[in-house]
Amino acid sequence: MIIKNNLFNKIDKEELKLALSNETFERFTASFYHYVKLSSPESFRNKLYIEWNQMHVFGRVYIASEGINAQVSIPEHNWDKFCDHLKTIPELGEISIKQAIQEGHSFYKLKIKVRNELVAYGVSEEAYDMRKVGKHLSAEEYNFAMDQDDSVVVDMRNYYESEIGRFDNALVPDVETSKELLPEVKKLLSGRENDKILLYCTGGIRCEKASSYLLHNGFKDVNQLQGGIIQYAHDIKEQGIDSRFKGKNFVFDDRLGERVTDDVISSCHVCDTSCDDHTDCKNDACHILFIQCTECSELLNGCCSKECKDFALLPLDEQKALRKDPERIISKTFFDSRVKPKLET
């Protein structure tokens, strides 16, 4: 019998981060996904948690009836054991594990959640068919395809990801959430149903379903970057290929980004200085994700504005009282023009 209390880590966040900093071994950050029908996502989740927790695996993993999407941090001494373990899971088949471009403390505990969708596009199952997806292109093939007259490159990520790194001349949908993405991309590509569509994302999972959606909606030549930006970064380095991607690859863990090239294509949202370091506003009433240079971070105590800095300096009891009053909470929309600049392509 599986004891539910053993399937979640409820230790204090700061205690977990301290334990991570005291580890005497290296960790590898990696990611993988696989679309497969799971009859019991909850049971599958629980079995994975038990096995991976024993190997001291950290990470953020999503399980759905349509498969798995995993970003994990694995102790170096358990790397081979973990990879061998994955091969024993019938549901996963032949999966491709992508190691991070840059290592670092990415996760401090293991979270495995069951969701309705692996990627929250919010489209019905009738809107796509995962048996029909876009052609996977290697780094070299993708670069070649970009130079074709009828090709169009589409960034399948959110604006804040594209802001710090993207491919040359890519279409960047002006969206903040995955649910807005597919309709917006379909609109942007209207009239180009016969052109060569080149999709890319972080690791490939978003393009997998998006390519199926576009094929289902009449687009004839849909392609996707094999393994996403992560695999592309490895391949260009190993094969000596020129990078058509410029800047950083945004990642959804404590690192917030991996450098692919030395190009800095974004700027501080406070002072407009060249910068591509994301951070969360230190004001607990805000926590907006934005780009901030070192000087502005020191000036504003890691907050996104003087308003947030002043709020964060108030006694905790006063902060809590103010946060209960909707009229006194600092509105995130106040910062929209700074935090969401128009991207140049």
Task: Find the catalytic residue in 83, 201, 271, 304.
Answer: 201
Q: Which residue has the tokens 């410029």?
A: 246
304 is an active site residue:
no
Q: At what angle do helices 228-239 and 139-146 cross, to 10 degrees?
A: 100
3-class DSSP state of 279: strand
Q: Are 151 and 94 in contact (CB under 8 A)?
A: no
Residues 154, 172: Cα–Cα separation, whole Å: 6
Taking every pair of Cα atoms in the chain, the longest distance, rounded to a whole number of angstroms, is 61
* Angle at CA of residue 73, ends 93 and 47, nearest 5°: 50
DSSP 286-304: T--EEE--HHHHHHTTT-S
Residues 182, 93: Cα–Cα separation, whole Å: 28
Q: Amino acid identity, residue 148?
A: Q
DSSP 16-80: HHHHHHT--S-EEEEEEEEE---S-HHHHHHHHHHHHHHTT-EEEEEEETTEEEEEEEEEGGGHH
Catalytic annotation, residues: 201
